[in-house]
Amino acid sequence: MGAALTMELVTRVIGPLQTNVHLVGDPRTREAIAVDAAIPGLPWMTGELAARGWRLALIVSTHGHWDHTGENAALQAWSREAAAARDALPPSAAEPAAAERSLVVVGVDGHVHHPDPSGGAEIAAHPADWYRLTDPQPLFAPFPIPPCIPAAELAEGAAIRFGDVRLDILHTPGHTEGSVCLVAREAGVLFSGDTLFAGGWGRVDLPGGDEDAMAASLARLATLPDGIRVLPGHGSATTIARERPWLEMVARERRLPL
């Protein structure tokens, strides 16, 4: 099966910091995950999920800053209500057989975590950033950020799998302690959060930032193939090839450009 058929993607810019919010769907099982659910993205995300017949299986935060997590709690609550409504349907009106429930989160030790679909979509983030989700400290946020409870660990070497989609987890600290990137190698896509932008990188002067860690993370991304399309947390898409000249300088010198 070609890469174009193994993953469906819709993206919208949401909120005061113009966060790129993604819905990633599998065309076979009709499962989907949300990546970086920013406020006020709930109406758009739920509308897209309903219109496409996708069942939300996981809510992923590439890191714990409020502009990437603010809608997590509301989206999870909506998914629980949707799951309860599905469970209440008579068998004749239930989901078709094609709507498989295949999502798993594979841990670094090979342990396979099967989220319980009856409880709605779980929230997934790197454990080093969980405290930012459970006890938000929304620096400069123009509205309250509800806390949420992560349940799925996205650590180095882990993977998210559903249907024919596989997203490998790269721990890329520097913007925060628990920043991650997700790479869909078959589809040739990197969800880079606030680690890599077109022509730049995420801030390292906020709480949890680390200039040396960011340089190491960017050096690591320089090893990815040229053809990988980069979908950052803010701003326009780019490619590894386009960013390679300065990424390789970072890799050589082990420091961020001046």
Write down the domain spans for the chain. 3-253
Mean pLDDT across the stretch 87-109? 69
The pLDDT confidence band at residue 138, using thresholds 50, 70 and 90, is confident
Mean pLDDT across the stretch 87-93? 67
Beta strand 165-171 pairing with 229-232? unpaired
Question: What CATH superfamily classification does 3-253 receive?
Answer: Ribonuclease Z/Hydroxyacylglutathione hydrolase-like (3.60.15.10)
Q: What is the pLDDT of residues 226-239, one digit of tens each?
A: 999 999 999 999 99
pLDDT at 5: 59
Angle subtended at Cα 251 by Cα 247 and Cα 257, rounded to the nearest 5 degrees: 60
* Model pTM score: 0.93
The pLDDT confidence band at residue 179, using thresholds 50, 70 and 90, is very high
CA distances from 103 to 47, 125, 217 (A): 21, 16, 28
Beta strand 122-125 pairing with 189-193? unpaired
The pLDDT confidence band at residue 182, using thresholds 50, 70 and 90, is very high
- Exposure b/e, 105-136, CB count within 10 A at least 16 = b: bbbeeeeebebebeebbbbbbbebbbebbeeb
pLDDT at 12: 98
Looking at the predicted structure, is the pLDDT value of residue 34 above 60?
A: yes
